Chains A and B, each alone.
Chain A
């Protein structure tokens, strides 16, 4: 095979993969849906290691991520490179958060935690029910040929998303969230990335593992993540948002655990917190937005409802104003 023929053959591989994906995908979503499905699957199945920069509003953080899929199990290591050091090691849904300064390891079960490029919380079909998925332009990024996916929300209750998917594997290498004025309000982008066999199984082990026997273990978050019936319900969630979890969390500075309901449309998510209205209590609604994060608080009798999530304010208000007792 000549070099030119080899190059042509390599170019056909993504197209072939896309063709196969299209065959297995529900009709009607087209190429965009097939690419989205590849991106969702790649975030779980591809082994990758790299450094990404996360910009949300005015804040920037740098994170090193290593992800390995071995024998069907996901292993991931997240290392914060800015600010106080911490490391999160995940095996499927089991999370170990290491805080070296405090010599503490926090045990938790993954409920809503997602780290780039694994931003998806549901299948492509579920996501495509809330977003119109179209193919954008192709672009070379970090040395890889990439395909932009445009996820246009079907209503004003979620933000527009743009995902840049590496053509060979489908892995997302850049993601942008845009507001209604088409301004980028949040962005993830790899600054270096390696994939496949270049990533070793040992790279996802905690660098603190050997020392952790001397550390304090906080296993309460894992207990709380099991979920409970809080007695609260959101009567009017935005279309496509389904309840992902319901639990009681211990938050700093509070005597009693706070009820938390988590909703997601497969891409965006929000949390609803219900707790006793402190004395002197809040008496009026308030809200603030920064980057993709919206905060909305509403007094409800002797309770205080707080909504926080990556959704427009109108969605947070709709959710917060429809919280009630479960019948």
Chain B
């Protein structure tokens, strides 16, 4: 069913198929959540990520079980949307979304963390090659890539300063 949702977002379904997919999605809370998540991922890939995404606990559970996630070496610009949607089919790519979504010079989300996983050997892969399966117990590692990017370019994120101010306000209280 998630394939139908992905195809629906890609505009690949016929009118009848689209009606059926929409009806099925409307009737299922789980599919509504998946639909929402796909859009969040799509937005993030386009650099329009929401400040905060509410994700169900099982998403994080799935992330913990997934092997290390690697971004493609280079995507064909013509197939970006397609890849984005295909990527949405795997919750593990949330980590990649975090990274991709934090690159914009003008808007670097403060909470755009790269979530990479796995204690297995990691090799850079090209063109969305299959992810290397873990050979040992996976370990969750969270990296705030946006912080490195901001330090490299000396381009601090406005959200970071919002956070600082909130912390100061909290301390003052």
Interface of A with B (CB < 8 Å)? 54, 56-63, 80-86, 95, 97, 99, 101-104, 106, 108, 110-113, 179, 181, 183, 185, 216, 218, 221, 249, 251-254, 258, 260, 262, 269-271, 273, 278, 280-291, 293, 295, 297, 306, 308-309, 313
Contacts and interface: CB of A to CB of B under 8 A. Distances in A.
A62 B106 CA distance: 7
Nearest to B100: A290
26 contacts: A57-B100, A58-B47, A58-B77, A59-B100, A61-B107, A63-B105, A63-B106, A82-B106, A83-B106, A97-B156, A99-B161, A102-B161, A104-B165, A251-B148, A252-B163, A253-B144, A271-B151, A278-B141, A282-B141, A284-B68, A285-B122, A288-B96, A288-B99, A288-B114, A289-B72, A295-B99
Contact of B148 (A181, A185, A271): A271
Given A104-B165, A284-B121, A284-B122, A291 B153 contact: no
Given A273-B148, A284-B121, A287-B124, A101 B158 contact: yes
Contact of B105 (A54, A106, A111, A271): A54
Interface string B145-173: 10111011111111111111100100000
A297 B71 CA distance: 13
Interface footprint category on B: 35 or more
Contacts of A306: 143, 148
Interface in B51-74: 68, 70-74
Contacts, number: 164
Contact of B156 (A106, A286, A287): A106
B37 interface: no
B89 interface: no
Nearest to A100: B158
Interface centre among A57, A183, A278 (most CB of B within 10 A): A57
A102 B104 contact: no
The 8 closest A-B pairs by CB, nearest first: A83-B107, A61-B106, A288-B71, A113-B154, A59-B47, A84-B158, A102-B161, A271-B152
A160 to B, nearest CB: 14
Nearest to A104: B161
